[in-house]
Structure 1
Amino acid sequence: MGSHRGRLVLATTILGSSIALLDGTVVNVALPTIGKDLDADLAGLQWVVNGYALTLSALILLGGSLGDRYGRARIYAIGVGGFGLSSIACALSPTIGALVGARIVQGVFAALLVPGSLAILQASLRPKDRMAAIGAWTGLLGVATASGPLVGGWLVAIDWTWAFWINVPLCIAVVALTLTVVPESRNPAAVKGFDVAGVILAVVALAGLTYALTVAPDNPGPVALGAGVAAVLAAVGFVLVERRSPHAMVPPSLFRDRVFTTINLVTLLVYAGLSASMLFLVLFLQTVAGWSALAAGAATLPVSAMMLALASRFGTLATKHGPSRYMVGGTLVAAAGFTLLALAPRDPSFVVNILPGTLLMGLGLSMLVAPLTGTVLAAAPDELAGIASGVNNAVSRTAGLLAVAALPPLVGLSGSDYAQPDSMAPAYRLAMLVCAALLVGGAALTALGLRPRQPECAPAPQAQAHPQPPAR
């Protein structure tokens, strides 16, 4: 990690992943403006978010396995390049339907680049440098994610299409760096077949569930019910296919490791809460408090600052002392931040009502993300680094996808309610408390599933306990 090339590899993986993560948070801030310009209701805006998250979640496992087979750097470069091209299509979209379609394509290419970044670090750096590198990766990626609302607010003030145009030069730079400085790596033992049935079933399961959750509140009936039933059947079929397939996208052996299974369940809870909370916060500040998009985005900067300053440090501490204490503490601190934000009045003061909550959120995420990511990746053999990264990324993205689809109707939002202060204010408070409860559940699961001083975060010398986690 201390070499010139090592630092360039780290920078390349951070920049590429940042593009995908920044795009999601930037788009969240732009949603109210997109809704006005393209005459979209809440369901249309949900699909701007969920169309991208759907293909990313469903295909990210395939992206990880493709990198293991055909070269992680090669697949990473293809994903970044395609992401840039599909961003152009998003920026040029004349209708909400066209924008959703372009976002679906964008998610396909994101599924190639997201798992590749962590797999490249795992395969390229010395074992003793990996946790520190992951700490730097998560810290700077957290900055990109949390800076998204600020960047988005600034871009929306110009034109919402710039939320997509900004990706293009960044993608060109990442492709150039990948082709020149990233060492190629692959799993020589990877099977050559494709798990076509697994891919189709994963897409059907996630698409059906997302569609059912999105349309059922306004149009309950046989169509929504049918989509939900199809999703359940496809999910069961996916599990059966993966258990029997000779070239499964998700080798069942990964989930025989207790640490790997536990951390992925924790990831599901944590990222559901995180994704939904960031969406509801920026909507509340714009719709209820009347802040501009730029001001609402700037309110999340303390999260970025805390993660930039502390994430790498907590990654190093987790290597020395074990990840459990930091993961439990981090989820509880972040949950306390969500609770404080839920108590904000309709005309909040940034210093009194918003800053304390965002500082706690940033501190909690700084404590949590690097140990979580390092532990889940290290729980898999190095030759399965791409698949392990893909699984954890799929879990985190699926969590965000389902939270964004399910939470608005759960807290009473539908149609154009997102633009009505009287509807948005109580829905926001309830949503933030639900997010806090999800993180408390993650803390409890971590405490039960991980023993405090197990060596999950240290490189495992044999096929027993190995450390690592997700993307964002």
Structure 2
Amino acid sequence: MANLDVFIVNVALPDVGRHFTGASLSSLSWILNAYAVVFAALLVPAGRFADRTGPKRAYLGGIAVFTVASAACAVAPGVWSLVGARAVQAAGAAFLTPSSLALLVAAAPPARRLAAVRAWTAMSGLAAALGPVAGGLLTQLDWRWVFLVNVPAGIAVLLAGPRVVRSPGRGAAPAGRTARPDLAGAGLLTAGIAALALALVKSNDWGWDSGGVIGTLVAAAVLLVLFVRRSARHPEPVLPLPLLRVPGFAPASVANLLFAVAFAAMLLSAVLWCRQVWHWSALRTGLAIAPGPLMVPGLAVGAGPLARRTGAAPIAIAGCAAFAAGIAWWTWMMSPDDGYAAGMLPGMLLTGVGVGLALPTLVGAAVSALPPRDFSTGSGMVTMARQIGTVLGVAMLIAALGPDAAPGGAGAFDDGWRLVLLATLATAAACLLIRRPRPTAAAPAAAPPGDSAGSV
């Protein structure tokens, strides 16, 4: 549910804009960004909560919140009420995502944990593949169905979960971890990232040299500095700074953030190109995007053994190269008059190869270095970095496209794709800093080097 919802909503975004007359692209972008910002800020506190109270309780609670919020999204009377419901939906996703992986690792026998995590990752990749098509089908009926589809699924989980899901029980808090999770720190992170995204998406309306943009950027910087300082002092911080000193974890987390910037901007640009430049239907758009994500699950599973032999960095860099080649193809070859087969499809296939190689490898490189007691928290940190990257990628694309993305402004897409190329090159540079970890007893059995342990 949590993964599928992201890709369904991307495809439905233009229809939401037409329904709420007068809604600008910058306003609509908050339907995506509100979800990503709140998801990012709450992931680590949610992981701590799952560690303390038991992942089953966190998982079922997250499902309940997500389901109710999905219904609220479907009946939202306006753009900003929909944005608010999406923020609540993200809170539910933040609790169910890390706890779902913790439940899976606890339920699987030690010898089968690696296969279980790979299957979990492949299912997440399948959601990415099916999301555009499902979004297109549902949007053909009405955009509200992209949210209503979660309700019966959530109810089914809530009815079956208490009986079916095995709980590993409440974990004992490690020494020094007796304080409550830092919700004030989560608020600072939410406000800081939201302010940064606001400055980017409003840069065309306000002007880069305007007091509004400059003031908002200054506010974002202050809030984020306060957030880091609070994380350094709080006993249960949103950003556990000591984990960043684990060899390989910090550069892999940075690479995850940068690749998420590129991936989010790429996906939204493909949707907007199909819908607003080619004027395709939601269903046709979903089918056009699907070939790329369909390549991810198989590559996500197959990249693990290869990364164990060569290390994560070469595989991730190869993925960045394929992704960059796909974006370069769009920049040089795609125009409003080009057909799909010669214009979009080659780039979509190349970016799919890039995501399949780079994303699970980068996630695996980060979490494989963590000690078992920090598994939920560390995987939450990686996903938090990716969600922050998603916010920045969407905001940067909106800033590059300007007020609209009509055929007359198709050249603005080239500016957006150049930003995607820069983010991809920065990801490859960060990958060079990832060292191949030595096998240790502290490494989580579920995620050896190079294997994915995070949602695609």
- TM-score, normalised to structure 1, is 0.88
| 8 Å Cα contact 2:372/2:443 also seen in 1 | no
| 8 Å Cα contact 2:252/2:365 also seen in 1 | yes
In structure 2, how many angstroms separate the alpha carbons of the residues matched to 1:236 and 1:169?
42
Does 1:184 pair with 2:168?
A: yes
Give 1:23 deviation, angstroms: 1.0
| 8 Å Cα contact 1:135/1:316 also seen in 2 | no
In structure 2, how many angstroms separate the alpha carbons of the residues matched to 1:291 and 1:142?
25
Contiguous gaps of at least 5 residues in structure 1: 1-18
Q: Deviations over 1:410-431 (max 9, x none)?
A: x2412xx13x2211x1122222
Q: How does 1:164-179 map to 2 (within 5 A)?
A: 164-179=147-162
Does 1:307 pair with 2:293?
A: no
SS at match of 2:204: coil
Match of residue 96, structure 2, among 113, 120, 125: 113
Q: Say if 1:215 and 1:185 are closer, same or farther in 2 by CA, change over 3 A.
A: farther
Which position in structure 1 is the counterpart of 2:187?
200
Q: Say if 1:90 and 1:331 are closer, same or farther in 2 by CA, change over 3 A.
A: same
Match of residue 13, structure 2, among 31, 44, 49: 31
Give 1:163 deviation, angstroms: 0.7
In structure 2, how many angstroms separate the alpha carbons of the residues matched to 1:127 and 1:73?
19
Q: Say if 1:448 and 1:32 are closer, same or farther in 2 by CA, change over 3 A.
A: same
Q: Deviations over 1:286-336 (max 9, x none)?
A: 211222211111012222331233321222332344322211211211221
Which position in structure 2 is the counterpart of 1:383?
373
In structure 1, how many angstroms separate the alpha carbons of the residues matched to 2:118 and 2:354?
14
Q: Which structure 1 residue ranges, 4+ long, deviate > 6 Å from structure 2?
A: 463-466
Contiguous gaps of at least 5 residues in structure 2: none
| 8 Å Cα contact 2:256/2:363 also seen in 1 | no
Which position in structure 2 is the counterpart of 1:359?
349
Match of residue 249, structure 2, among 260, 263, 267: 260
SS at match of 1:335: helix
Name the amino acid aligned to 1:270. Answer: F
Q: Deviations over 1:152-182 (max 9, x none)?
A: 1111111010010111112223334543233
| 8 Å Cα contact 1:153/1:293 also seen in 2 | yes
Does 1:217 pair with 2:204?
A: yes
| 8 Å Cα contact 2:369/2:443 also seen in 1 | no
Q: Deviations over 1:16-47 (max 9, x none)?
A: xxx11211111111111111111111122111
Q: Deviations over 1:363-402 (max 9, x none)?
A: 2222223322222112111111111011111100010011
In structure 1, how many angstroms separate the alpha carbons of the residues matched to 2:134 and 2:338?
22
Q: Say if 1:401 and 1:366 are closer, same or farther in 2 by CA, change over 3 A.
A: same
In structure 2, how many angstroms separate the alpha carbons of the residues matched to 1:305 and 1:369?
14
In structure 2, how many angstroms separate the alpha carbons of the residues matched to 1:331 and 1:176?
42
In structure 2, how many angstroms separate the alpha carbons of the residues matched to 1:304 and 1:26?
13
In structure 2, how many angstroms separate the alpha carbons of the residues matched to 1:469 and 1:442?
19
Aligned length: 444
| 8 Å Cα contact 1:123/1:385 also seen in 2 | no
Q: Say if 1:347 and 1:137 are closer, same or farther in 2 by CA, change over 3 A.
A: farther
Which position in structure 2 is the counterpart of 1:237?
226
Name the amino acid aligned to 2:343. Answer: N
Q: Say if 1:307 and 1:216 are closer, same or farther in 2 by CA, change over 3 A.
A: closer
Match of residue 43, structure 2, among 57, 60, 63: 60
In structure 2, how many angstroms separate the alpha carbons of the residues matched to 1:282 and 1:32?
9
- TM-score, normalised to structure 2, is 0.91
Does 1:450 pair with 2:429?
A: no
